[in-house]
């Protein structure tokens, strides 16, 4: 039996600190395309990872597409560091130990009957604590199944694991 190789890309990341987007995987001042300021998590800059590369000194880099609607470089491709202290996946990959999440987005979170996220059935305001049954991985996006069987996003800019 042959195992079907799953494609690792694309997946989304967000900037945890102030970072630069570079023209090539070897980071130098002359290769900088733009700078992204450090922002709070709910306003963080997001990118779609389309591949990885290694610099001359073997540091891992993400080849990314800018997915920030307000950015002047929207859709542009460049390189950012892959260091976990600077960038993180935009969607949770694990279930929280406490089996609870808290809504952190200013506009709250929509609730759906299926993971397809069509036909919104409910809405929770910021600060609402939700009890989780399990995590559903749908391509590169994750959803949390609530105890009542409905679904919310696993996006870290919208919900945070635990009680806040």
Q: What rounded mean pLDDT belongs to the chain?
A: 90
Q: What is the pLDDT of residues 31-45, one digit of tens each?
A: 999 999 999 999 999
- To the question of pTM greater than 0.85 for the whole model, the response is yes
Which residues does 48 contact at the CB level (< 8 Å), separation at least 6? 10, 11, 12, 64, 65, 67
Q: Give the model's confidence band at 5: pLDDT under 50 very low, under 70 low, under 90 confident, else very high.
A: very low
Is pLDDT of 139 > 80?
A: no
In tens, the pLDDT along 51-75 reads 999 999 999 999 999 988 777 778 8
- Domains in the chain, start-ordered, CATH in brackets? 11-89 (2.30.30.40), 100-161 (2.30.30)
pLDDT digits (tens, 9 = 90+) for 78-108: 999 999 999 999 999 999 999 999 999 999 9
Percent of the chain topping pLDDT 90: 79
For residue 147, the model assigns a pLDDT of: 94
- Pairing state of beta strands 32-36 and 159-161? unpaired
Phi, psi of 31 (to 5 degrees): -95, 0
- 8 torsion bin: left (phi>0), alpha (psi -120 to 50), beta (else): alpha
């Amino acid at each position: 039996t042959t195992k079907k190789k799953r494609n690792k890309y694309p997946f989304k990341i967000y900037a945890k600190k102030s970072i630069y987007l570079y023209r090539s995987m070897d980071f130098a001042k002359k290769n900088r395309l733009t700078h992204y300021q450090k922002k709070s998590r709910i306003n963080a800059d997001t990118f779609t990872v389309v591949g990885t590369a290694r610099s001359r000194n073997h540091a891992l880099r993400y080849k990314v597409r800018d997915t920030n609607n307000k950015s002047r470089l929207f859709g542009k491709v460049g390189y950012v560091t892959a260091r976990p202290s600077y960038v993180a996946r935009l969607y949770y990959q694990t279930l929280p130990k406490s089996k609870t999440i808290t809504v952190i987005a200013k506009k709250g979170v929509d609730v759906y009957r299926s993971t397809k996220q069509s036909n919104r059935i409910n809405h929770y305001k910021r600060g609402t604590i939700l009890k989780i049954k399990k995590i559903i991985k749908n391509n590169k996006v994750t959803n949390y199944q609530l105890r009542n069987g409905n679904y919310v996003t696993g996006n870290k800019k919208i919900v945070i694991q635990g009680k806040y």
